[in-house]
Structure 1
Amino acid sequence: MVEILAMLSASAAAGMRIGIPLLIIGLLQGSSLWSQVPILSHISSPLLLGCLTSWSLVELFALKKLWGQRILQLIELSLSPLVGAIMGLAVASATAAPNWLIALIGGLFALVLQLVQVGWFYRLRGLPLWAVFLQDTLCIALVFFAFDAPRQGGLIALILLLLAVLSVKQWYDWYHQGKKYISN
């Protein structure tokens, strides 16, 4: 059960950012870097370190501008299921569940959180700067929680899932409220 909570925590981090969680998970493994991470273990460590560091810096700085948010939303939306699956497999390697199921759940969880981000981005016409900083902080914290405190990280991930469901309900209500005004 603890491995599942750790997997949810890591996948939630991948649902917010792509490069930062992968960079942190590699650095937390010490000198072996990404040797225990599926898919990434086949890529040269210096190349991967350079690419993920560059992408993390792009995420940190480009997300502060509206145009950067728009461009990164498209890229992160398409890559979040893959990164969520990789993060889930990297963290929950000791569980008895089959790898395909862990990858599927991790990828779908990351996709759901990324879709909610995109929805709020378009609903608010851009995310406020405080929300971007909160996402960055929460993303980094969730990666650390996945390793050091998986129960707390899993609980935060489940709260994020609850907020995602509540967001969809809120959008549904806004949509139907707008339809009433148009039809009257």
Structure 2
Amino acid sequence: MIGILAVLSVSAAAGMRIALPLLVIGLIQGDLWQQVPLLNRLQPQVIIAVLTAWTVLELVISKQLWGQRLLQVVALIFSPLDGAVMAMAVTRILLQPTQLTWIFGVVGGLVALILQLVKVGWFYRIRGLPAWAVLLEDILCVLLVLFAFKAPKSGGLIALLLLWLAIRSSGSWYKWYQDGRIQK
């Protein structure tokens, strides 16, 4: 059960940012990215350079409206892959290689995609995310990765809370959309 909560935690982090959670995982683990699928085939120096550059780019341009739009397109494409890779990595690190690794990867990718879709929905509903919300998202992203390894129960519960909020948001969006259509 603890492993499932850890997988949910890193998957939720992948639904917020692409490179930052992978960079944190690599820096937490002693064997840089040896347990991370796809990344274990690349040189650690190349991975660190690419992830650091992308993380700085994400952190800097996400505070501006045009940057948020650009990042959303990239994140919608890559967040399911990122969530799956991170979920499989946590499964390998915490649960040892099992037959369920691919199932956890699919679940992780879906969680990341759902949270990314909710973020895009909020972006278009309120016409851009405020800077404080983006900063809170960055902090929560790092905390979820740290919780996945140090306190998986807390990280998993936060991820479940985020999923619950996503479901509630979709219901309110539907109501908002229907109210807008009725008034026209």
TM class by shorter chain equals over 0.9
State how far apart, in whole Å, the 2-side matches of 1:43 and 1:23 are. 14
Secondary structure at the residue paired with 1:16? coil
State how far apart, in whole Å, the 1-side matches of 2:19 and 2:86 are. 11
Stretches (4+) displaced over 2 A? none
The C-alpha deviation readout for 1:47-83, integer Å capped at 9, x for no partner, is 0100000000001000011000000100011000000
Unpaired runs of 5+ residues, structure 2, are none
State how far apart, in whole Å, the 2-side matches of 1:116 and 1:166 are. 10
State how far apart, in whole Å, the 2-side matches of 1:90 and 1:35 are. 9
Counterpart of 2:91 in structure 1: which amino acid? A
1:116 paired to 2:115: no
State how far apart, in whole Å, the 2-side matches of 1:179 and 1:38 are. 46
Structure 1 position 97, deviation (Å): 5.3
> Taking structure 2 as the reference length, what is the TM-score of the superposition?
0.96
Alignment of 1:1-184 (within 5 A): 1-30=1-30, 32-93=31-92, 94=95, 96=98, 98-182=100-184
State how far apart, in whole Å, the 2-side matches of 1:97 and 1:43 are. 24
State how far apart, in whole Å, the 2-side matches of 1:19 and 1:66 are. 20
Equivalenced residues, count: 181
State how far apart, in whole Å, the 2-side matches of 1:97 and 1:148 are. 24
Secondary structure at the residue paired with 1:17? coil
CA RMSD of aligned residues (A): 0.9
> Taking structure 1 as the reference length, what is the TM-score of the superposition?
0.96
| Greater mean deviation of Cα atoms: 159-168 or 93-102 | 93-102
Counterpart of 2:61 in structure 1: which amino acid? A
Unpaired runs of 5+ residues, structure 1, are none
Structure 1 position 143, deviation (Å): 0.2
State how far apart, in whole Å, the 1-side matches of 2:166 and 2:35 are. 31
Identity of aligned residues (%): 55
Structure 1 position 39, deviation (Å): 1.0
Structure 1 position 8, deviation (Å): 0.2
Secondary structure at the residue paired with 2:163? helix
The C-alpha deviation readout for 1:97-130, integer Å capped at 9, x for no partner, is 5222111000000000000000001111100001
Counterpart of 1:143 in structure 2: which amino acid? V
Counterpart of 2:13 in structure 1: which amino acid? A
The C-alpha deviation readout for 1:138-174, integer Å capped at 9, x for no partner, is 0000000000000000000000000000100010000
State how far apart, in whole Å, the 2-side matches of 1:153 and 1:13 are. 10
Secondary structure at the residue paired with 1:152? helix
Counterpart of 2:24 in structure 1: which amino acid? I
Structure 1 position 92, deviation (Å): 1.7
State how far apart, in whole Å, the 2-side matches of 1:81 and 1:11 are. 9
